[in-house]
Structures are given as structure tokens and as C-alpha cells.
Amino acid sequence: MNTGRKVTGGKYHANRKKRLYEKQSQERIVMLRETKRKNLRVKSGAVKTVLLSADIANIVVNGKAKKVKIKNVIETPQNIFFARQNRLAKGAIIETEIGKAKITNRPSQEGHVNAILLEQK
């Protein structure tokens, strides 16, 4: 039977519209390009900084953080096509100036890219 219908065939009418905080926002895809950020107003008037594109990662090397340029996305466990499109996501293996690294945070939510070094050049 059609969804959104009663057994008799009548329509169910919504008793109210969606509130702003209930509405779904557009998917944020972080690409490998020149770094670009955006500020969003979230619940309670707070401001969240989100990343739209990035070319620099914060990598921990021997207990110290370093800013390193990202060269390429090698593989992404969520989706094999993300690596082809050079998308930056949590768990993605990236190639940097100092070697391979794994992204440990969610760049689309946090406004920066954090990674740990896997193998050094």
C-alpha cells in the first residue's frame, strides 16, 4: 500500500513543519585542494568551523605535531571511489611530503586534518 496513507486511502497530514535544527544539511565533501573553511551557525547560536577543502595535514611525528603538505589520497576504506576523487575522510591513507599517513579525525566536522605517520620516506 502507498506510504503516508491511511487504510481507507486518506492522507496523513503533518501537524507541523520541520524546525531549522531538524532539517538536513548538505553533505560536506572535503577535497584535496587549496584549504577552504566555512563557519556554520549551529544550535544555541554556537559557530562550527567546517572544512570544504584542504592541502595541509597536522601529522604527529615522534610525539610532535608537524604541518605537512598532502600530495595524494592513496586509499579510503569507506568507499574505493573516494580515493579516485581525492576526498579526505576519516581512515583515509594519504601520501604526504614525509611519507604515508592515516587520517584520524573527521575533517568535514572539525575544520582541519589530523593524521598519524604510517611509514616514513
The predicted-structure confidence for 38-92, as pLDDT tens digits, reads as follows 998 888 889 999 999 999 999 988 888 999 999 999 999 999 999 999 999 999 9
pTM (two decimals): 0.80
User: What is the overall mean pLDDT for the chain?
Assistant: 91
Is residue 3 scored above 80 in pLDDT? no
How does DSSP assign 50-112, residue by residue?
EEEEESEEEEEETTEEEEEEEEEEEE-SS-HHHHHTTB--TT-EEEETTEEEEE-S-HHHHSS
CATH number of 29-120: 3.10.290.70
* Matching residue, cell 610532535: 64
- Confidence at 116, pLDDT banded by 50, 70, 90: very high
Residue 51 confidence (pLDDT): 94
Q: What is the pLDDT, as a whole number, of residue 33?
A: 95
pLDDT value of residue 2: 64
For 7-45, what is each residue's pLDDT tens digit? 888 988 888 998 888 888 888 899 999 999 999 888 888
pLDDT at res. 61: 84
**Rg (alpha carbons) of the chain, rounded to whole number:** 20
Joined grid coordinates for residue 22: 531538524
105-116 average pLDDT score: 94
Is residue 106 very low, low, confident or very high in pLDDT (cuts 50, 70, 90)? very high
